[in-house]
Structure 1
Amino acid sequence: MLTHFRMFADYNRWANARLYDACALLSEEEFRADKGAFFGSAQRSLNHLLAADRIWLKRFTGTGEAPTALDAVLHESFCDLRTAREAEDQRIIDWVDSLTEADLSAIISYSTLTMPGKIEQPLGPILAHLFNHQTHHRGQVHTILTSLGQPSVVLDLIYFLRGEGTRWQ
C-alpha cells in the first residue's frame, strides 16, 4: 500500500499542475465566476482543496497552518494560490515518502470542523480519502473549465502512468 500511496501523491501533484495550467488560461473574471460547483468558482474550489489538504496534514503531522473553515479563501490571487498548491503537493509527497507500512495501520484521532467529537480511524483509509477528495473537486474544476469553453483536461491516472508516472508500473 505504501507504494500505492506514493504513486497517488505523485499523481496528485501531476494532476494539480495540469489543472492549474488550464486555469491559467482563464481571465480573472472567469476564474472567480460562480458556475454552480459546490464551492462555486474555480478560485474557491481550488482554495478549498488547499485548505482541506492543510487541515489533513496538520492532523497527520501536527505541523503547518490549518484553516478553521472548509471554504476559507487562503489566496485571492491565482499566482499565490498556485505557488501554495505546488508547495503543499511537495509537502504531501515528502510526508508520504516518510511513512512506513506500519504507519498506515496507526490510529489517527481527530475532530472535524463540521461535527463535534473525537474520531479515530487508521491512517491508510484516511489517506485514501485525501487523494479521492482531490480527484472529486478537480473534477468539479474541470467542469467549470469546460463550461467556460476551455478544452477538456486529461487528468486520468492511467494517462499519468503511461507518461510521467511510468516508474510506478
Structure 2
Amino acid sequence: MTPAELFLRRYRDFAAYNSWANRRLHDAAARLDDAAYRAERGAFFGSVHGTLNHLLTTDRIWMRRITGTGEAPTALDTILFEDCPALAQARREEDRRIAEVVGGLGEAELAGELHYRNSRGDPFVQPLSTVLDHLFNHQTHHRGQAHALISGFLGNDATPSLDLLMFHRETGLARPD
C-alpha cells in the first residue's frame, strides 16, 4: 500500500469511527430529559444541546468549504435543531455525507490544498489532509465535552464508551490474539 493509500484508508476509518461515536453519543443524549439536555453546564457551548448543535454546525461549514455544496451556518453557536431527535437524524445524514466525500477522495485530492475563508471572512489555504485532521479531531474534542456533560447526568455506567479502540474491536479492525 502506498503512503497516500494508507492516508485515504485512515480518513475512511475516521469517517466510520466518527459516525459510530456520534450515533452512540446521540443515543445517550436521547435518554436525558429536556431540562438536563438543555441545562447550562459551563461547557464551551453551554449544554449538551448547544455542544451537539455546534458539532453539526461546524461539520456543515467544513463540508461546504471542501465540497462547495450544502448548508453553511455563519455562526459557530448556531442552533440548527431545537429537537433532540431531529438533530440526531441530521447528524446521521451529515455523517453519511462525510463518509461519502472522504470515501470518494483520490490521491490527487488528498495531496491538494483547500482555499477557504474562516467565519470572519479571512482567506486561508492549507493541505486538505490537515483540514480532515482538524475535522475529525474537532469532533473528538467536542464529543468528549458532550460525553462528560451526559455522564454527569446519567453516570459513567450509563454512558457509552467512545474509545477508538472499542470501535476497532467492534468492527473487526482489532481482534484478540
State the TM bucket, normalised to the shorter chain. Answer: over 0.9
How many residues get paired? Answer: 167
Q: State the match for 1:42 in structure 2.
A: 48
Match for residue 72 of structure 2 among 58, 66, 72: 66
1:94 counterpart = 2:100 = yes
Shift of 1:167: 4.8
Give identity over the alignment, percent: 49
TM-score by length of 1: 0.95
TM-aligned CA deviation for residue 149 of structure 1: 3.4
C-alpha displacement at 1:108, in angstroms?
A: 0.5
Given the alignment of the two structures, is residue 136 of structure 1 paired with residue 141 of structure 2, yes or no? yes
Query: Is it true that 1:53 corresponds to 2:59 in the alignment?
Result: yes
What secondary structure, in the 3-state scheme, does the structure 2 residue paired with 1:148 have?
helix
Give the one of 16, 19, 32 matched to 2:22: 16
Contact 1:7/1:168, CA 8 A, preserved across alignment: no
What SS is found at the alignment partner of 2:154?
coil
Deviations 1:109-168 (A, max 9, x none): 111114x4210001001101000000000000011011113333200101100112x258
Segments of 5+ residues of structure 1 without an aligned counterpart are none
Cα root mean square deviation, aligned: 1.3
The 1:18/1:38 distance shift into structure 2, 3 A limit, reads same
- Using structure 2 for the length normalisation, give the TM-score: 0.91
Using the TM superposition, give the Cα deviation of residue 22 of structure 1 relative to its aligned residue in structure 2, in angstroms: 0.6
2:151 to 121, 129, 146: 146
Aligned mates of 2:66, 2:39 — CA distance in 1: 33
> Using the alignment, how far apart are the partners of 1:11 and 1:149 within structure 2?
23
Q: Which runs of 5+ in 2 are unaligned?
A: 1-6
